[in-house]
Structure 1
């Protein structure tokens, strides 16, 4: 019975996620980034979000942890905040020039790690694997939304 539990998709995905996180963290740290900051960094780089509320939604985290992360990122010189001209209670968040300049290397580092992790997979298998994971995440989001 224990073997069956340790072979479930949830457990295996959790192990894979922790492995990816360790690998990414080790490779991003020298660049001054943390793996947990990636959704925020990407959202800001791609202009997909620029307020704390929108960044929290984009990264799929609650507001308090996002506020803490943004405070650390500001302290570390990765982001800057400016007053939102449309809403005096809110601020706009942007990448600093330094962070923006380091992003291409960070992204290349992540792609390299993903490529290494998928060693032995054909291109078709890698695409299928990503598609399956996307479907799984959509199912989990749907389940969570009904609760």
Structure 2
């Protein structure tokens, strides 16, 4: 890598993101899910009464992207859309038994990827890195709104 790349937060963040994505993709592929599906399932596993709009807001993705992800997940038997008791026009996104059956393995796979990337850092450095990343994300998320 050239020197300017090693001094660019944008370049390093992008490069590290691609490496994380590839690592996660490789780890969860045997479970029949992709990273975008995993990200969505993490929210759906927490609550069975989320709408597509809720997922868009929680995951900070475009509406069209979420619609495509949910369509693929429904096709793959990972989620079902059910009427919301409070609003029959809205649909709740619910994890299927198939999705629930892979929850532990998927989370374990993601934890392995995180550990493999962070193992080069001491525990204190890991905490510091995550704190700094959260601060940047929170700052930029707030400035968007």
TM beyond 0.5: yes
Matches within 5 A, 1:1-147: 3-5=3-5, 7-47=7-47, 50-145=50-145
| Partner Cα distance (1:11, 1:88) in 2 | 46
| Partner Cα distance (1:113, 1:141) in 2 | 25
Specify which structure has the bigger relative contact order, considering alpha-carbon pairs within 8 angstroms and separated by 6 or more residues: 2
> Where does structure 1 differ by over 6 angstroms across 4 or more consecutive aligned residues?
none
Structure 1 residue ranges without an equivalent (≥5) = none
| Partner Cα distance (2:22, 2:105) in 1 | 18
State the superposition RMSD in angstroms.
Answer: 1.6
Q: Structure 2 length normalisation: TM-score? A: 0.91
Paired residues of 1:49 and 1:58 also in contact (CA < 8 A) = no
| Partner Cα distance (1:87, 1:63) in 2 | 20
| Partner Cα distance (1:28, 1:83) in 2 | 30
Worse-superposed segment, 136-145 or 126-135: 136-145
Worse-superposed segment, 79-88 or 69-78: 79-88
Q: Structure 1 length normalisation: TM-score? A: 0.90
Structure 2 residue ranges without an equivalent (≥5) = none
